[in-house]
């Protein structure tokens, strides 16, 4: 086992049993040892929409920290969610905070 993996396992040991199981399942899935993770029925639509966006190449442009901060600001202010930013990259160029359009 590498030093990095040993550090990760030590950190996971400090977590709750549920969190440990979730991380173990993810590790086994990545190693192709376990069955695929099951998606909760209420999340299937969102996962399918995300896969369709990925197939279209609809990714967010910009620095990750800026995009994440903007998304959290939108949630905190009850504005549109991150989905307002997950469109074709060219359409994001004129978007400001929380996805509203701005003229250049």
In 35-88, alpha helices (H): 44-56, 64-76
For residue range 56-84, what is the model confidence (pLDDT) as tens digits?
A: 887 777 787 787 887 777 666 654 444 55
Burial (CB < 10 A; 0-12, 13-18, 19+), residue 76, is exposed
Could you give the CA distance from residue 13 to residue 7 in angstroms, rounded to a whole number?
Answer: 10
Query: Considering Cα of 68, then 71, then 67, then 26, what sign does the dihedral take?
Result: positive
Provide the whole-model pTM.
0.34
Q: Spell out, as residue ranges, where the chain has pLDDT lower than 70.
A: 34-37, 74-104
Q: Domain extents for the chain?
A: 1-37
């Amino acid at each position: 086992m590498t030093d990095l993996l040993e550090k990760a396992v030590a950190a996971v040991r400090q977590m709750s049993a549920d969190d440990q199981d979730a991380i173990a399942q993810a590790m086994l899935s990545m190693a192709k040892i376990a069955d695929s993770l099951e998606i909760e029925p209420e999340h299937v639509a969102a996962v399918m929409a995300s896969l369709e966006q990925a197939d279209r190449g609809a990714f967010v442009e910009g620095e990750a920290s800026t995009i994440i901060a903007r998304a959290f600001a939108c949630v905190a202010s009850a504005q549109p969610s991150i989905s307002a930013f997950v469109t074709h990259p060219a359409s994001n160029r004129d978007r400001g905070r929380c996805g509203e359009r701005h003229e250049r």
